[in-house]
Amino acid sequence: MAEAGFRPAASLVVGTAGHIDHGKTTLLRRLTGIDADRLPEERRRGMTIDVGYAHLALPDGRVIDFVDVPGHDRLVGNMLVGAGEIDAALLVVAADDGPNAQTLEHLELLDALGICRGIAVVTKADLVDDLRRRAALVAEVEMLLARTTLAAVPVRLASAHTGEGIDEVRDALASLPVPAAGDGGARLAIDRVFSVRGRGTVVTGSLRGGAVGRGGMLRLVPGDRLLRVREVQVRSSTVEAADGGRTALLIGGVEAAELARGAALTIDPAVVATSRILVAVRPPAGLGRRPIPAPADADRLRLHLGTAQVDALVVRGPREAIQLPDGSSLAILRLAHPIAAAAGDRFALRAPSPGATAGGGIVLDPLPPRGISRRRLTPERASALTTDGEDARLDLHGVLVDGDRVRLAPDVMSSLGDAAVEIVRAHHAAEPSSPGLALPALRETLAVRSRRLATLDRAAADRVAGQVIETAVDIGTLARDDDRLRDPARPAGLPPEVRAAMDRLEAALAAPAPPPLAEAARAAGCPPDGLKALERERRIVRLEDDLAWSAATWRDLTRRALAMAASAPLTPAAFRDETGTSRRYVLVLLEDLDRRGLLRRTDAGHVLGPRAIERMRERATAAATAGDR
């Protein structure tokens, strides 16, 4: 291992493409001095089998990382592992052979992936002396490119054998811009996993989106576990951190068998594990002789995204049958197993048999809506996903829940906010004497309504309802008094007529033998809210469901009971005679005083309880202290 160094310079990842034996690896060797064929069998057979790597340092400090892919038709899957994470393409066409089968297929795949930067090189130029033949080859390549996303790239003639045109190729590569870093955070799609004896597990891939440093933590997707980076290497040199390009990471706490090509290591929360994605699909470029139709509903295809490959079922039902302004069409892909994906990811689709490019495009939503929220899918919302990112995704789902954070689309917030006001006003109309609707009742009703607007579980719906109420109170469309919600146009508290009824009920209960509570409330015209307010304000003391005293009467009865018990054991009969009530009232009062420790029941009668005795001692101590002063 090399000594730790500085963070490497900005890097551009360029992938090769082209037919077998057209000189891709040889051209890279001439440009970089590095043999990208790393496997012994590749060097023995003279052909690239798996993805290989090389790099070229430019005079301005930038570095081009090359991903060399196999050109054999049986190795297209390996080719897409390399092409899935490139910034630009290096298309190679041999001068003595011209565009061939894999030239066309690789071009179709690059087009499916939306690769629009790069350079095309007609190699082995030393084998063709005829200038007209050379010009015709260049024109033929340009015509092919014109039908793809690579239409604007330059075409150069070169010979890795003689060096002809190599400087021009290098200059064209040097003119390619380095992509700007994303704002979501680092992400590395794994393309190789291996163990180093005595060190641990190493993964390699093209780093995107941000820096990864030694000691940092990365999330494995799929898998959702955190892994620590023990060492970072770029082009065989150990560095403190890498911020792009080909990168190798020594990972702690995991065995090589637990990782695989296709997974991702990331800190970007937008990267999720998913087996169902909403995509915009472009039809294949159709460079071959046999035209390939655009993916249709129920087609079974092979999805290539990043370094992952997975079988996919195309879903284009009536709701998804949407054509987008750029000519692509909407579809949902149901995957055979979860992969790592994020909105904006590029992908390619291949038909399994016969193997052919079936299209490509970008991921619009890695976790598309289900259930009720799926009804919100419209052409306008689908089109907005291609440009407006997370805001458009919120508009599509209606509600997005991330842990305790809940975000509502404007129309959902408006609908639920209006509903909250209408529900409270309806409560006022039905119960004019009520100070407002109970908070739990409004929250429950709004939670039910929210589940008619968006796909939510009960817990999420409850959080949505709480947020709607909180917002309504904040903006003043509802007013809150403790656990009640009211129309702000109504004064706070109970209406004057209810207060008057409360006074009448309190007076009716100001007797040692009060009438039944429900009967007294009806007679006084006191509604349930008034009764609750009397209890809350401690103007009445309710000892049983239908038995209550005014607070003043209850305190008087309590004082008389304690005074009698202080002089002699108090019997129910004696207290009945003293108060002029009946045994029913006496027993309820004495049992309440026993329960609160003010009296204690004995065989002889009720005597002072521990709380009453403690109060007497406290009063005596306070009086003595005051006398000493």
The distance from CA 222 to its chain's CA centroid, rounded to whole angstroms, is: 14
Contact 367, 333 (CB under 8 A): no
Residues 18 and 12: their CA atoms lie apart, in Å, by: 20
H or E element, residue 195: strand 187-196
Residues 323 and 283: their CA atoms lie apart, in Å, by: 12
Contact 235, 32 (CB under 8 A): no
DSSP state of 570: B
Residue with the bigger pLDDT between 196 and 510: it is 510
Residues 211 and 191: their CA atoms lie apart, in Å, by: 18
Q: Specify the range with the lowest mean pLDDT, choosing from 240-244, 276-280, 452-456.
A: 240-244
Contact 42, 173 (CB under 8 A): no
Q: Which residue has the tokens 């639920």?
A: 416
Report phi then psi at 579, rounded to 5.
-95, -15
SS3 497: helix
pLDDT of residue 43: 36
Average of per-residue pLDDT across 558-583: 94
pLDDT of residue 74: 47
Residues 304 and 355: their CA atoms lie apart, in Å, by: 13
pLDDT of residue 71: 45
pLDDT band at 616 (very low <50, low <70, confident <90, very high): confident
Residues 385 and 364: their CA atoms lie apart, in Å, by: 6
SS3 246: strand
pLDDT band at 83 (very low <50, low <70, confident <90, very high): confident
Residue with the bigger pLDDT between 346 and 626: it is 346
SS3 89: strand
pLDDT of residue 600: 94
pLDDT at residue 122 tops 90: yes
Instruction: State the CB neighbour count (10 A cutoff) for residue 420.
Output: 25
With vertex at residue 499, the alpha carbon angle to CA 497 and CA 504, rounded to the nearest 5 degrees, is 95
Average of per-residue pLDDT across 463-488: 94
pLDDT band at 82 (very low <50, low <70, confident <90, very high): low
Q: Give the model confidence (pLDDT) of 522-538 as tens digits.
A: 999 999 888 988 998 89
pLDDT of residue 291: 66
pLDDT of residue 246: 87
pLDDT band at 51 (very low <50, low <70, confident <90, very high): low
Whole-number average pLDDT of the chain: 88
pLDDT of residue 627: 66
Contact 512, 585 (CB under 8 A): yes
pLDDT band at 215 (very low <50, low <70, confident <90, very high): very high
Half-sphere exposure in the Cβ direction for 144 (13 Å, CA): 29
pLDDT at residue 145 tops 90: yes
The percentage of residues in the chain with a pLDDT greater than 90, rounded to a whole number, is 65
Q: What is the 3-state secondary structure (H, E, C) of 118-144?
A: EEEEEECHHHCCCHHHHHHHHHHHHHH
Instruction: State the CB neighbour count (10 A cutoff) for residue 473.
Output: 15
Go through 443-467 and write b for each residue having 16 or more CB atoms within 10 A of its CB, e for each that does not: beebbebbbebbbbeeebbbbbbeb
Give the CA distances from residue 379 to residues 124, 318, 347, 455, 626, in Å, rounded to whole numbers and listed in that order.
49, 12, 22, 20, 84
pLDDT at residue 458 tops 90: yes
pLDDT at residue 46 tops 60: no
Contact 337, 219 (CB under 8 A): no
pLDDT band at 70 (very low <50, low <70, confident <90, very high): low
Average of per-residue pLDDT across 376-405: 91
pLDDT band at 1 (very low <50, low <70, confident <90, very high): very low
Ranges 78-87, 172-181, 195-204, 599-608, most confident: 599-608
SS3 40: helix
Ranges 195-204, 493-502, 587-596, most confident: 587-596
Average of per-residue pLDDT across 324-333: 92
pLDDT of residue 35: 78
